[in-house]
Amino acid sequence: MAKQFKKTKLAAAVCAAAGLGLASSANAVVVVGGDNGWEVSFDGNINAFYTTGDYDAGYSTLGFAGTSNARDVSRVASGFLPAFFSFNVKSPTVNGMTATGRFSFAPVIQNGNAKNQTYATGLTGNGATNGIQGSSIDMREVVVNLDGNFGTVSFGRTLSIFGRQAILKDMTLFGVGASQVQNGSVASGRIGRGYTYPNFNARFSYKTPNMNGFQAEIGLYDPSTEQAVIGAGILDETDTPRFEGEVSYTTAFSGGSFQVWVDGLWQNIESSRAGASGDVQVSGFGVGANVKMAGFDVVGYYYGGDGLGRSLQFLGGTRCNNGGSVGTVCQENEADGYYVQGSYTFNGKTRLGVSYGESSEDGFSAMNGTVGGTNTGATTGVDLSMLTVGVYHDINSWLKVIAEYSHLENDFGGTSNDPEADTFSVGSFLFW
């Protein structure tokens, strides 16, 4: 069995770290060749950031109204991306088809800011504020790709299609963006302030071959129940899968490239409650474009939908009453958002970028009957925004240093408390 040691290309690290696809074994640090053409390889990253922030009273990263006091907080933590350790397997090519499989483990370096608690709850992550028990770890990818002249058939768990391009082109992917104030999970980047977070989900998908720059992908996903605002657990029946898709066009020209894409999502969710008459249609669409030329890189993205949720998909985009004489009825609200980003790369190594984005979620209309026993009236909308300025410098092909400043605003729809935050982060990535 032979070993080959190869230098990691940063472009391959982007896809590997973001969990979008299967890293080529030729771009991994260690490639182990087995019998009959099989290959095993490894790739990953470790990152760390020092972040200091000034947070107004009531501020929360994902824009949920809170009652916390104003405070200054500093952390040493992972950025928007966790660390990754990924294990890849590549088959020999048989009858024009090659299979690749990938496992990705994604820990963060920090625990909660109460270091000797055995456990404390948090806003995001699976028990993401563990203290003495250590930091969180996430199994991001368990996925197989079958590639051939027919395109790519894929099955397993990986980053979902809707909103994927928006995340991967966000410059805060290798930074912090909206930092977490106190828990032990990753930062939030631009989630809820320009796009919604799709998560890593189980699915079957098919992607066409590249046809003169055009490419399409459709996925059949493990469906999600909706975590309805007031009345959680009512929307619990998913008798059809979720569907997501993307169509893109990419072309190169002298000194640059251009890409445009459209993506979408649809899922029906019903209630198993006796007498329930309401179900919801969760849907979303997005359109984006990316132009690169002579060191300049410009990205624009817009999305909209019903029942999507404000920041995390399938969280807070619906509301249901509690049944009774009027029966169980549910409603979706509307949400949309956008971000624009411009950057320039000096000497192929130092990228200076500016990014601004907003996400808005409408309030719910008044309902008959009770909602959670009390709230029957209309609710107000929420608007979240973030401006980020960042410098991202490649010391070499495997070491990157980053500095970011972000200003964040949460507008809670007419309330007197519209908290803001200012954060500054410096950090570094090691890729292999």
- The two structure tokens encoding residue 410: 């949460």
Q: How far, CA to CA in Å, does 419 sit from each of 69, 122, 384?
A: 11, 20, 10
pLDDT above 70 as % of the chain: 78
CA gap 159, 283 in Å, rounded: 18
* Per-residue buried b or exposed e for 306-315, using 16+ beta carbons within 10 Å of the residue's own CB: bbbbbbbbbb
* Per-residue buried b or exposed e for 183-199, using 16+ beta carbons within 10 Å of the residue's own CB: bbbbbbbbbbbbbbbbe
Query: Tens of pLDDT along 266-287?
Result: 999 988 776 666 688 999 999 9
Query: Tens of pLDDT along 327-363?
Result: 677 888 999 999 999 999 999 999 999 999 999 999 8
Q: Does pLDDT of 367 surpass 60? A: yes
State the DSSP H helix or E strand holding residue 130, giving kind and residue range, or none if neither. none
SS3 content of the chain, % helix, strand, coil (to 5): 5, 50, 40
**Amino acid in the structure at residue 416:** S
CA gap 260, 165 in Å, rounded: 10
User: Could you say which DSSP state residue 95 is in?
Assistant: T
Among 217, 368, 386, CA closest to 311:
386
pLDDT in the model for residue 356? 98
pLDDT: is 310 or 425 the higher one? 425
3-state class (DSSP) for residue 168: helix
pLDDT in the model for residue 325? 53
Q: Are strands 315-320 and 330-332 parallel, antiparallel or unpaired?
A: antiparallel
CA gap 313, 320 in Å, rounded: 17
CA gap 228, 314 in Å, rounded: 8
Q: How far, CA to CA in Å, does 85 sit from each of 17, 250, 269, 428?
A: 9, 30, 35, 17
Query: Tens of pLDDT along 186-237?
Result: 889 999 999 999 899 999 999 999 999 999 999 999 999 886 655 556 788 8
User: HSE on the CB side for 126, CA within 13 Å?
Assistant: 7
Token pair 């029946």: residue: 237
CA gap 36, 198 in Å, rounded: 38
Cα 75 to chain centroid, rounded:
22
- The two structure tokens encoding residue 136: 């969180």
CA gap 203, 352 in Å, rounded: 36
Q: Which fold has domain 2-431?
A: Porin (2.40.160)
Work out the average pLDDT over 154-172: 96
Q: Does pLDDT of 304 surpass 80? A: yes
CA gap 342, 142 in Å, rounded: 34
CA gap 103, 263 in Å, rounded: 26
Q: Are the beta carbons of 214 and 249 closer than 8 angstroms?
A: yes
Query: Tens of pLDDT along 328-338?
Result: 778 889 999 99
Work out the average pLDDT over 174-179: 92
pLDDT in the model for residue 63? 65
pLDDT in the model for residue 289? 98
* Per-residue buried b or exposed e for 224-256, using 16+ beta carbons within 10 Å of the residue's own CB: bbbbbbbbeebbeebeebbbbbbebeeeeeeee
Query: Tens of pLDDT along 13-62?
Result: 444 444 444 444 445 567 787 778 899 999 999 999 999 999 988 887 76
Q: Are the beta carbons of 298 and 288 closer than 8 angstroms?
A: no
